[in-house]
């Protein structure tokens, strides 16, 4: 039999992301390898799967037939794989997650809901009381995982990458800096910077942009809420450095504009921190996989990341 599960995953990914490049990134393949897979299917069955002259790519009748098969088969295969992992590694446990990411609710709550459906035996909770000492709480065992964009060299912890994103400068619509293609550290020397109330060493805009250039903003203002920061910027009370996906709605409504920090942009990676002693728990990896899948589907402006070496080894052993 020629048709394999990987072929169905390829077709489903191209259909979902509407381009070979995005699908290849999601499947951790090169675009060339993905094209070869599709061409191999077409050559074997003597049919075309996509109308390639359209943008986005459109499925042919033959492609739609295979997509229907993928949509029927893949959820069943994924469910069996989860069940097998539960049998191999245990399906019960506790996953209490703390946040160091102040703007993560938009994507985290749907991820938690999907995870609860897939792992009903796991006790899931979201802790909001450890936002300023989350990694210490993880080391102590008070929580079981931490969402963070600031990995720390702490013994006994593993930081699993979830997705990559751009940190952008958020500006009022009529701000003079909106005329620039990108901003430099010097451009912020006369600005009031609105930030989260954490140590500046843990903010990318300071540690990787302003401080290396020896630049200090004219003023600082803080808020714990992303929506409040965006509102302060919108009414001209300052500028802010935020994840691109965190202000996508405000940008779409014309409340704020964004510009890259530096000519190459300032990029960061969101992680799930866990104890190394828990890294081989099936439901921990199940949460990571759920987060990666749903984030790529629903968040604007993010890119997929490769699992770290530890996770690749664990997944290969299952």
DSSP label of 185: G
**92-162+270-317 has the same fold as 5-87:** no
Q: What percent of the chain has pLDDT over 90?
A: 53
Task: Say how many Å lie between the first and final Cα of the chain, rounded.
Answer: 25
Residue 309, pLDDT above cutoff 80: no
Residue 171: which pLDDT band, with cuts at 50, 70 and 90? very high
**Which CATH code fits 5-87?**
1.10.10.10
CATH class of this structure's domain 165-267: alpha beta
What does the alpha-carbon distance between residue 204 and residue 306 come to, in Å, rounded to a whole number?
22
- The yes-or-no verdict on residue 313 having pLDDT over 50 is no
> Does the pTM of the predicted model rise above 0.85?
no
For residues 256 and 251, give the distance between their C-alpha atoms in angstroms, rounded to a whole number: 5
Report the pLDDT value the prediction gives residue 89, as an integer from 0 to 100. 55
Sign (positive or negative) of CA dihedral 304, 165, 245, 301 = negative
Q: Is the pLDDT of residue 13 over 80?
A: yes
Average pLDDT score over residue span 248-260 = 95
Length of the chain: 318
Q: Is a pLDDT exceeding 80 seen at residue 70?
A: yes
Domain boundaries, given as residue ranges, for the chain: 5-87, 92-162+270-317, 165-267
Q: Are the beta carbons of 181 and 208 closer than 8 angstroms?
A: no
| Phi–psi pair at 110, nearest 5 degrees | -60, -35
**For 115-154, what is each residue's pLDDT tens digit?**
999 888 888 998 776 656 789 999 999 999 999 988 888 8
The class that CATH gives domain 92-162+270-317 is alpha beta
DSSP output for 48-69: --EETTSSS-EE-HHHHHHHHH
């Amino acid at each position: 039999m020629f048709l394999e599960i990987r072929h169905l995953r390829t077709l489903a990914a191209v259909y979902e992301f509407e381009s070979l490049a995005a699908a290849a990134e999601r499947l951790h393949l090169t675009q060339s390898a993905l094209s070869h897979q599709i061409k191999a299917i077409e050559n074997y069955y003597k049919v075309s799967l996509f109308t390639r002259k359209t943008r986005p790519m459109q499925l042919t009748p033959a492609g739609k037939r295979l997509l229907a098969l993928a949509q029927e088969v893949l959820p069943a295969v994924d469910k069996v794989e989860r069940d097998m992992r539960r049998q191999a590694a245990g399906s019960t446990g506790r996953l209490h997650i703390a946040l160091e990411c102040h703007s993560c609710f938009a994507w985290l709550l749907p991820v938690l809901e999907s995870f609860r459906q897939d792992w009903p035996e796991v006790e899931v909770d979201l802790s909001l009381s450890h936002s300023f000492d989350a990694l210490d709480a993880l080391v102590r065992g008070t929580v079981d995982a931490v969402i963070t964009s600031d990995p720390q060299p702490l013994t006994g912890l593993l930081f699993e990458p979830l997705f990559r994103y751009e940190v952008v400068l958020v500006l009022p619509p009529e701000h003079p800096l909106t005329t620039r293609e990108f901003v430099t550290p010097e451009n912020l020397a006369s600005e009031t910077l609105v930030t989260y109330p954490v140590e500046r060493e843990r903010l990318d805009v300071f540690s990787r942009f302003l401080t290396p250039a020896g630049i200090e903003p004219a003023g600082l203002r803080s808020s714990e809420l992303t929506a409040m920061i965006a509102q302060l910027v919108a009414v001209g009370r300052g500028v802010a450095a935020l994840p691109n996906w965190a202000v996508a709605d405000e940008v779409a409504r014309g409340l704020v504009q964004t510009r890259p920090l530096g000519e190459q942009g300032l990029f960061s990676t969101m992680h799930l921190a866990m104890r190394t002693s828990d890294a081989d728990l099936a439901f921990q990896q199940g949460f990571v996989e759920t987060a990666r899948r749903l984030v790529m589907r629903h968040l604007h402006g993010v890119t997929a990341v490769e699992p770290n070496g530890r996770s690749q080894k664990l997944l290969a052993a299952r």
